[in-house]
Amino acid sequence: MRPAPIPADLPRWPHAAFPADLAPATARLRAHLLSRVDPDGAVRDPCHSRVLESALLLALLDRTNVEPAARAQLAGYLAGHRDSPKPLDRVLARAALDGRPATADLLDVEQFLGQAPDFTGARKRALLHAVLVLLGGAPGSELPGTEAFSLRGLHTWARVQVTAVKAVLAHAHRQPQLIDAPDLELLRSTQRPGTAWEGNLLIHLSVLHALAPLPGHRHLIVDGIRTALEHQRPDGGMPFICDEDTWLTATAGVALHAAGAGAPVLDAIAHRLLHLQQSGGGWSYTEHAQLADVDCTSAAVEVLHLTGPDAHRTPISRAIGALHALRGPDGGFPTYLAGAPSEACMTAAAANALNTQGHHQHAAVQAALQHLASQQHPDGSFPPDWSSSRLHTVFRAALAAVRHPDHATPGSPAQQITERATQLVLNSQNPDGGWGQQDGDASDALTTAYALITLSSCSAVPGPAARGAAYLLTRRRPDGSIAGIPDSIGPRPFGFSVPALADTFTLLALGHLTRRLAPAAPRTPLQQPSAMAARHQGEPVTLSPSATPRPCPPGRKPPCPVPRAPRPWI
């Protein structure tokens, strides 16, 4: 995700073509993100509430008749989503509150499931079926096919989720014999009071529902409910995961480096990541999880490379080894597990990490680009990934391709990727200058950031990028942060929200853009740069005011937000 060298055949863009307040807006956003970096180097932002987990917990409370106060808060949250513009949220909220799901007129199931990769289709269909059953729907005439419950080739999270779904549907169809002792042992192994297994509330609640009909499990269920309620949000709802702070920290590190942040904060972020590197060499999305993934590992490699390739040689080498252990025979990379289908987004992520190693990884990067080219659609897009935006994989693939020596060679995989990616971005810009998640969607900050990164790396003309930058500046809040919409997906195709990602990727995009601009005029002696501004071509630094901590909501237990200590890097 880090900026690539500007190809010799691309001209520098003039500052005059872009909004006059681009530099101060970039500095202000950078200062805002710097204020989010904790003294230990972590960037933390809890996952927001989601209707899916909130509905599942409400159904569990109704089933067990415990925690009435928490139930009232959940019901209030869900009531606010009865008329959500999102079809799935409408279905789940109404089903949880009324017990009568009506998918036929509220949700196009095939269209929704079509947003997930094909190889996950049977499992995701069974998951949606089980959720609707738990919320009062009819179980249907027959169980899903055996492929929906196969554990072959699945990583640990998927194994538990699939087993819980099988148990729920087996109970609904009155076929308890389908659940064997190993299934129950696997489900029970995830339950420890006070700990949501792997930081995943969806799996935690699914397991509780799967075990609830069995005799002798009430104590375990009640303990599990109380564990879940430790993560109830102030709005009364429940999140999908506790957080994805490791992923957020790594992406923030790349973004801050691109935007010219100073060494102290970047070193703090790098040391935080070093502390979280797992024994196998990879990283997970949160410190609460053990399952490493290609995405987080690749982003962490980029941060360590940017902050000290020699000093961090050993951890980088271990991480590169972890990526190679997952690499498929087709040259691509899956998300979690060796032998799983390769995915375009993960392949692009790994290629960007591998090419930090120069010619030592040339063959692996070349194979990854060939796989990416084979997966790219004629319109420039790629199969669904972990983002709601089709431009997410596009920008990451374009960055991997533009670094390759063959990116300008006619007919090469790298050239195909960059040309198709650029044309998709140019052809899909909205009249307001931004880009939307899918064709015809309203513009949003994250998708526009992805588009701007692509153009900064691949496009010759500045006009579309200038209009995109102008749109991004309209999304600023008074504190310098960026207003965005939910973009992340998990499990696919269910979306969720971590708001700080809008700040991170917007700053990353503005950092890419700044490096594409022509060098600024030399300073006069009267223009004395600050320590932070010295690395940012003379732009002024405006620090955002400290965030005022919110008091604990009524009935909530600490810890609650506390005033942040001044950062040494601000």
- Give the active site residues: 295
Give the separation between CA 139 and CA 146, rounded to whole angstroms. Answer: 16
Continuous segment of H or E residues that includes residue 94: helix 87-98
Helix/strand/coil for 49? strand
Closest C-alpha among 140, 3, 160, 2 to residue 515:
3
Helix/strand/coil for 444? strand
Give the separation between CA 271 and CA 276, rounded to whole angstroms. Answer: 9
Amino acid of residue 25:
A
Quickly tell me which residue has 């020699």 as its tokens.
310
Find residue 488's DSSP bridge partners: 387, 496
Q: Distances in Å between the alpha carbon of 4 and those of 70, 71, 225, 345?
A: 49, 51, 48, 18
Q: How many residues does the chain have?
A: 570
Helix/strand/coil for 476? strand
Residue 145 tokens read as 């096919």
Closest C-alpha among 121, 100, 117 to residue 109:
121
At residue 343, φ and ψ (nearest 5 deg) are -125, 140
Amino acid of residue 331:
G
Closest C-alpha among 454, 462, 461 to residue 401:
454
Q: Distances in Å between the alpha carbon of 188 and those of 69, 155, 163?
A: 27, 17, 11
Residue 238 tokens read as 């429940």
